[in-house]
Amino acid sequence: MISTKTRAFLETPISDFIIPAEKVAHVLVGNSAEHALLVLTKTGYSQVPVLDTNFKIHGLVSSKMITESILGLERIEYEKLAHIKVDDCMERNVAYLRIDDTFKKALDLVINHPFLCVVDYDGTFAGILTRRVILKQLKKYIYQTLD
């Protein structure tokens, strides 16, 4: 049976734990795959959100997606990088959280995603919640309940 304490933990709102939009590296729809690869390489992130100028989420792009889009039969066709748009290689099917969602929902989703995009009440991009942050909070909770 789930204790009252655990239930309260699971009901914790995620809003206090997100990395706010202004601190999230992102690319814009219409940017070239070359630009996205530069952002990914320079930041060291495995994937970043693809947004529009109104801060609506269109997808996620990773180095793997970009490399696959320029993979020829016998070689990687780097010369194509500048001509391909992130729109042509990004993943559009993105799992996301709402700003008023709880840890319970986040826990279910971070099993399959290293981070989740978070949207505001009006659907604009509010930031991300990473698996690392969720695990940190979970560890803190477990250690507290042991005491």
- CB of residue 76 vs ligand AMP: minimum separation in angstroms? 22
Among the listed residues 45, 107, 109, 113, the single contact to ligand AMP using CB under 6 A: 45
Residues 48-87 that bind ligand AMP (CB under 6 A): 48
CB 90 within 8 A of CB 50: yes
Is 25 a binder of ligand AMP (CB under 6 A)?
yes
Is 39 a binder of ligand AMP (CB under 6 A)?
no
Is 47 a binder of ligand AMP (CB under 6 A)?
yes
DSSP codes of every residue in the chain: ---HHHHHHHT-BGGGGPEEGGGS--EETT-BHHHHHHHHHHH--SEEEEE-TT--EEEEEEHHHHHHHTB-SSSB-GGGTTTSBHHHHSB----EEETT-BHHHHHHHHTT-SEEEEE-TTS-EEEEEEHHHHHHHHHHHHHHHH-
Q: Which is nearer to ligand AMP, 45 or 141 (CB)?
A: 45
Draw the binding track, 111-130, toward ligand AMP (x: CB under 6 A; -: no contact). ---xx------------x-x
Is 46 a binder of ligand AMP (CB under 6 A)?
yes
- Please identify, among the stretches 4-12, 20-28, 74-82, 103-111, the one whose residues bind ligand AMP according to the rule CB under 6 A: 20-28
| Among candidate residues 104, 107, 97, 95, the one with its CA nearest the CA of residue 47 | 95
Q: Which is nearer to ligand AMP, 98 or 131 (CB)?
A: 131
Q: Which residues bind ligand AMP (CB under 6 A)?
A: 19, 23-25, 45-48, 114-115, 128, 130, 132
